[in-house]
Structure 1
């Protein structure tokens, strides 16, 4: 089970309460301003929905957090995860791409170093690729009118070694060249995976990638929820033998999970 629901909250033009002084409080203010928010004091809490408390004085953080929560704000308290309604991840930005790494407050240092590893993997051009895909949205819909075909085409193009591989540097016209190429989307696939363990950490890299790509998951009842949780969040799931006719005949990738 996830410890938190991961969300990206738009705060541009909104007031955000920051209580405290010193390095920690200033870091929160810089982050809020970077996201377009307006830092304010507790006196203006009636105009805010979020609050950050960076006070290290004994029980004072608890008192301030309780007071702000009573006023309906979601509160983050520096170095006190037990008092937090939300936590701040370590952020990697390739505008408009934002990747957030969170440990739920367990270790900010670990989140930071995971982010630094990812920094070395992701090219600077990743943001331009995202912007090009957004600009080409209408052309992509015209080329692949059916949503399943469109998803399959994007999955294939963005996969490792594909024409839009996000871990490679690309020219400015890469998306247009992909749309206008003669390449055709692969036909519907049905792939069987043999699951040998109830532990998702025992999945192979290939199995994890397939779970992340699949449009539909059909599984034996003995496959555990922990394994199914590694599937794409919007993939349809059904127990083997209970699929609907449109699931068996549809396009895209269907994974059949069997337990050994």
Structure 2
């Protein structure tokens, strides 16, 4: 069984590095060497345009000739990247005789070190290597990690680096691990991820003072997260990350089981049951519950369908949090209008049919739909009614009364973006009857406008229950 490589991270600031060859591989290696502070010398008859630009900027030096073993003198690393295997082999022998480490571009087995695929976030580096056995796989993993690791992790690493010595001197060794866990898993890190770096610095200073005094205060936070219209693949990376670190989750009746399953297994789940007129908890109680849980030091995930600020009462909820001085952050989600329309193959705007789009609620207020019907009953726009199924007949009748033709296109999407999605297409005249004959009872979205006609050619999603 072959021995495993030993991963290291080299300090090259001020060190001389030889790169033999000026082509594609040299162009890939040199920028990172320069970023590490290495003094790079390239030896090759010709070099790539990008390397010429670096020479012109005095970032590296270049000898326009064939490489000579004497070029290795004084170098810590050697990259043998010529097109001639015999020259690369000769350089490898010469480098070892002079105490330098060598990497052959054409022969991994004859190399002293390998260059890993790297994901960089400021001072944070994630290296992926396969001992040269599967370079294509390491590149794929790198691409995957690039999408999974937010850029703000670099800021978090810088923040930790700036406080490392202070923590070492002021927090006893046996409590340092727990201290950093609270930093990286709690509100301080979330301040960084939300782009509030200075606030995170102040919070870390306070936490350090409390830890030094033995007063580690536990501070809770609320995450108001939009979970999208139903398909778990539409969750944002930030939403998924917060779902994994919450202590308690407040979720509605319409939260898809597949989405709830992505919450951290150890998190407490509280069903607050909002659906149509059936509420397990009143909105006021939900608001106060979030405040109470956060003040008890819990990380509270308020999981809401769609987007919290689009008919999600998110503004009401954070107003009470702000008044109570509870730290919170908002994570937008794909709102139902965007998600359901896309999965139904109905563009909300189109140059030929709709130059604007209007989102309205189909809920009754004081026993009637208090909407500006003359503004809604206009051609050249798309109107999307949230929660419009119960009052569909009133909506269709009001739109025709105020000017739209009875054969004006309309569609209802039920359980949009999920495997149970049902699309019912009709007109203002016949859609209520068509929907009444549909047994599906899931959340529904009404789309009114000429863009509905495009479904026949743009429909792509075929749900498979």
TM-score (norm: length of structure 1)? 0.61
| The 10-residue stretch of structure 1 (75-84 or 24-33) with the greater mean CA deviation from structure 2 | 24-33
Partner in structure 2 of residue 111 of structure 1:
138
Tell me, yes or no, if the aligned pair for 1:163 and 1:178 is still in contact at 8 Å: yes
Q: Residue 59 of structure 1: SS of its match in structure 2?
A: helix
Cα separation, 2, equivalents of 1:76 and 1:35: 17
Q: Secondary structure at the match of 2:76?
A: strand
- Structure 1 equivalent of residue 395 of structure 2: none
Contact 1:158 1:166 in 2 (8 A): no
Q: Post-superposition shift, 1:184?
A: 3.7
Q: For 2:137 and 2:216, how far apart are their aligned partners in 1?
A: 42
Task: Select the residue among 154, 174, 189 that pairs with 2:200.
Answer: 174
| TM-score, reference length from structure 2 | 0.36
CA distance 1:138–1:16, shift in 2 (3 Å)? closer
Task: After TM superposition, give the deviation of residue 88 of structure 1 in Å.
Answer: 0.2
Is 1:150 the counterpart of 2:183? The answer is no
Please point out which of 97, 105, 112 is paired with 1:78: 105
Q: How does 1:63-142 map to 2 (within 5 A)?
A: 63-141=90-168
Residue of 175, 180, 189 corresponding to 1:164: 189
| 1:56 equivalent in structure 2 | 83
Looking at structure 1, the residues matched to 6 and 109 of structure 2 have their Cα atoms a distance apart, in angstroms, of 16
Counterpart CA distance in 1 for 2:71 and 2:154 is 36
1:79 partner SS: coil
Task: Give the distance between the partners of 1:2 and 1:177, measured in 2 at CA.
Answer: 46
Aligned equivalent of 1:189:
none
Give the C-alpha shift of residue 58 in structure 1: 3.9
How far has the Cα of 1:154 moved from its partner?
1.1
Structure with the larger RCO, 1 or 2 (CA within 8 Å, 6+ apart): 1
CA distance in 1 between counterparts of 2:14 and 2:25 reads: 22
Displacement of 1:78 after TM fit?
0.7
Q: What is the match of residue 6 of structure 1?
A: 7
Distance 1:66 1:39, change over 3 A: same
If you compute each CA radius of gyration, which structure gives the higher value, 1 or 2? 2
Unmatched segments (≥5 aa) in structure 1: 187-260
SS in 1 for 2:137: helix
* Alignment partner of 1:24 is 2:25: yes
Q: What RMSD in Å do the two structures reach over aligned CA positions? A: 2.8
Contact kept, 8 Å, 2:16 with 2:74, in 1: the verdict is yes
In the alignment, what sits opposite 2:325? none
Count of matched residue pairs:
184
How far apart are residue 8 of structure 1 and its match?
A: 1.0
Q: SS in structure 2 opposite 1:62?
A: helix
